[in-house]
Amino acid sequence: MNIVFEYPSWFVIFCLIAGFGYAFILYRKDRKFSEINIWLVRIMATFRFLVVAFLCFLLLSPLLKTVNRSIEKPVIIVAQDNSESLVVGKDSGFYKKEYKQNLQKLVDVLSDKYDVRLYSFADKIKSISSIDSLSLNEKQTDISALFDEIETRYSNRNLGALILASDGLYNKGANPVFTSDKLKIPIYTIALGDTTVKKDLILTKVEHNRLAYFGNDFPMEIVVTAKRLKGKSSVLTISKNNATLFTQSINLNSDAFTITIPVLLQAKEVGLQHYKVRLSSIDGEMSLANNARDVFVDVLDARQKIVILSDAPHPDVAAIKSSIESNQNYEVESYTLDNFDKPLKKYNLVILHSLPSARNAASKILAELSASSVPVWSFSGANIILRNDFSISLKANKTNEVEPVLAENFPLFTISEELRKAIKDFPAVACPFGTYQNDNNSNVLFYQRIGIVDTKTPLMIFNSIAEVKTAVFTGEGIWRWRLQNFAANGNHQLFDEFLSKTVQYLSVKVDKSFFKVLGKNNFFENEIIEMEGEVYNESYELINEPEVNIVITNSDNKKFNYTFSKTTNAYRLNAGMMPVGEYSYEAKVKVGEKIYQQRGTYSVTALQVELTNTVADHQLLYSIAKKHDGELIYPQQLEQLATKLNAREDIKTVSYSEKKLKEVINLKWIFFLLLTLISFEWFMRKRNGAY
């Protein structure tokens, strides 16, 4: 510690002179002090000298320079693989007990000289306090994430070395040999696990869709591998509710056997469906846990129901019905109005063709539509259209031959470039001759071209009244478009695109429920069950004042009660991890006097990737160690590792020096020192009668 001046240091002499001169003039010849003891006068003069000299000294802007030195030991990171692949084989007892004890001894020895940090890695990277806390039961291994974490946490530290204990098997993340490049430190690897190829039959992979639609077939792709089981056989079985849906014998004709089996199943029930995929066991297998998988598929009844009502049979109706039915998600019924007696509320979309007509006012159907929220698509032909949002006043019982002109910047759905080009060649349709009136908020898809004149009269128009979607096609003869598309391309793809996108826009309803629970329908067993909730008031504004409760029920009918936590304007649930199985839930919230409920299901699937490959990859560990100037050692050589690290000259204690400059005037004790000196002088002067 020393003092640094902004001015020449010899200026301190002037400070001393100023202090001495001030005290001398004040106390030398003042008659008030003639009767006071000379030693008291000298003490008061000394106090005044010190105060004035120090104040002058502070005017020189002195700086206090301090140098702090700290010692940092080298950081040695011990990272232990915590995945279940280590304890699958016959050495599981060794890794659960003896190996843990030996590794803890190594940590204790290294801690005398180094700053040792312990980590476990597999599903997550976790800092641990001791080796005994390892569970060796995590479901996935990501070694590259460990390197990322170390580089982030210790980039500016005295990092000496990394000790990586693993079997070299990873099933998540990038190749650790390449991602280790970011670490510029020695890496020592401890080779765990067994490299011996043992007899084992493995259900390696079951690929499938998470969702399927009721009534449709959905695929599964099953990958089976076998090791050292040449000449044996097994049976693959897929079952549901104890009923066998698929079975196939597998003959293992080599010691390194792999086969991919495609399976097509039918979704016969709506809801979360649980399928069991099993391989019959073979004597001598190392593990039977990897012979089975539980598969969960959420089957949705998402088919939209559509009804076509017409005044009479017409080729347009057949063309529309055939086109919509090409999409398996739509179920289409068609009737003449005289033969229809079903309630309209069961349908997602009603298509009216030439209704109302001159002979059929369709007043009952129109009244039912007006009272419901079912979307409507009207095809007019040469008849009168009676709608609140669109109408035609006929001037004569005549029609115009009209070709379509695609409107620019149509906002409701996208049109492919191929369809845009094809529309120009679509043949004319017959439209009523008259005055067209439509709402200013309407969206026009096609305008009418009469001869060579492009008009602003709509041919295809969309509207929405009180959130009920409507569309009107003002022409008759759309079946010609379908034939033209087939003549030009040999298929109906572009015509089907036009119909499908229109139907999709009209039939999809906006979810305006006042309570929603959002979340995945399938989780892995190492994932946290998370959901989000939204509650709306009567003005459809997000609120989160009321409490949202949820009851989760497992397959054994055991119930678990939770309460959603509140976020800024919504809700969130963290239910933690749950065992493999099927779950249902019921969430409730009370808003005012109303109670809203939401029900749903989800599944938790077993994650068995650690059991798929149990042959340790010591070559990967060797490559990492060699690349980083380290060594690969085996569990029996742990005692040698401390000696190897101590012998390295590049792992050293680092001394840091930190220099600080601080203005002396900012030191609080200086203020109190001066205040004390001037206070004592003032008190002594007052005590002895001087003012």
pTM: 0.62
The H-assigned helical ranges of 326-408 are 363-371
In tens, the pLDDT along 308-319 reads 999 889 999 999
Q: Which of 167-176, 225-234, 382-391 has the lowest mean pLDDT?
A: 382-391
- CB of 582 closer than 8 Å to CB of 500: no
Q: What are phi and psi for residue 346, nearest 5 degrees?
A: -80, -10
Sheet holding 429-438: strands in order across?
330-336, 304-310, 349-353, 376-379, 468-473, 453-465, 443-450, 390-406, 429-438
Integer Cα distance of 159 and 185 in angstroms: 7
Taking the alpha carbons of 190, 193, 197, 201 in that order, is the dihedral positive or negative? negative
Structure tokens at 625: 């160690």
Q: Is beta strand 200-208 parallel, antiparallel or unpaired with respect to 217-227?
A: antiparallel
Instruction: State mean pLDDT over 114-118.
Output: 95
Distance CA 368, CA 352 (A): 13
> For residue 32, what pLDDT band results from cuts at 50, 70 and 90?
low
pLDDT tens figures, 534-544: 999 988 889 99
pLDDT of residue 63: 87
Between 508 and 347, where is the model more confident? 347
Q: Residues 116, 104: contact at Cβ < 8 Å?
A: no
Q: What is the pLDDT of residue 33?
A: 58
Q: Which of 324, 381, 315, 375 is nearest to 354 (CA)?
A: 381
Compute the average pLDDT of residues 74-97.
Answer: 88
Q: Is the pLDDT of residue 37 over 80?
A: no
Residue linked to tokens 């002396």: 664
Distance CA 273, CA 578 (A): 18
Cα dihedral sign, 628-634-640-642 = positive
Mean local confidence (pLDDT), 46-72: 86
Least confident of 222-236, 355-369, 562-576, 586-600: 355-369
584-617 pLDDT, tens per residue? 999 999 998 899 999 999 999 888 787 778 788 9
| Mean pLDDT, residues 356-376 taken together | 84
Q: What domains can you pick out in the chain, each with its CATH number?
A: 2-68+661-687 (no CATH), 74-195+615-646 (3.40.50.410), 200-300 (2.60.40.10), 304-507 (3.40.50.880), 515-605 (2.60.40.1220)
| Residue 650 pLDDT > 60 | yes
Share of the chain above pLDDT 90, in %: 47
**pLDDT average, residue stretch 477-497:** 93
CA–CA gap between residue 374 and residue 376 (Å, rounded)? 7
